[in-house]
Amino acid sequence: MIKNFFRTIAAALSFSVLAGAEAQLVADSDLPIDITGDTAEFQDNLATWTGNVRVVQGEGILTTKRLEAVLLDDGGFETITAIGDVRYSNGKEALTGGRAVFNDQARTITMTEDVIVTQGKQVLSAGKVTYWVDTGKVLFTPEAGKRIRGLFFTQSDDEQT
């Protein structure tokens, strides 16, 4: 469940509009990706959207104050960074933090700055969450002097979320 959640985030962060031939990372990758913002600037190998940025693909919605993509000459990308009030939701799960970075070479998504992951009633909080796209490994790391916190509910037969 967490694996699919982060794969969808990777797709939202790696929006194929900029990635050209790069493969999407989720099953519904054929869906169009709609990116809106108050401004969009393209210079050399940097594409930047600022102000009320919204990336939508299917049910997945990523919002942030700023989105930057460092592009490669072959049409791919090196990194995609969402900066400021980063929020992702797909109707089932939600993820919030201050900054998220997709690094194509490392094949990781890292979200930092008071990260909260919500799946139904389940909630996990951390200072940093790193997701390895190819393996599905997820690492929650606390902020200095803090600990990881998880709030989990058991489900009864009457209550399926």
Q: Work out the average pLDDT over 91-117.
A: 89
pLDDT digits (tens, 9 = 90+) for 131-158: 888 887 888 999 999 999 988 888 764 5
Distances (CA, A) of 55 to 33, 46, 68, 75: 7, 17, 12, 19
Distances (CA, A) of 52 to 39, 65, 67, 86, 93: 9, 5, 10, 11, 21
pLDDT of residue 158: 53
Cα atoms found within 13 Å of the Cα of residue 107, Cβ hemisphere only: 10
pLDDT of residue 102: 87
The whole-angstrom separation of Cα 81 and Cα 27 is 23
Contact, 54 vs 61, CB < 8 A?
yes
pLDDT digits (tens, 9 = 90+) for 32-87: 778 899 999 988 888 899 999 998 888 888 899 999 988 888 877 788 899 999 99
Structure tokens at 10: 């990777």
pLDDT digits (tens, 9 = 90+) for 1-22: 344 444 444 544 443 322 322 2
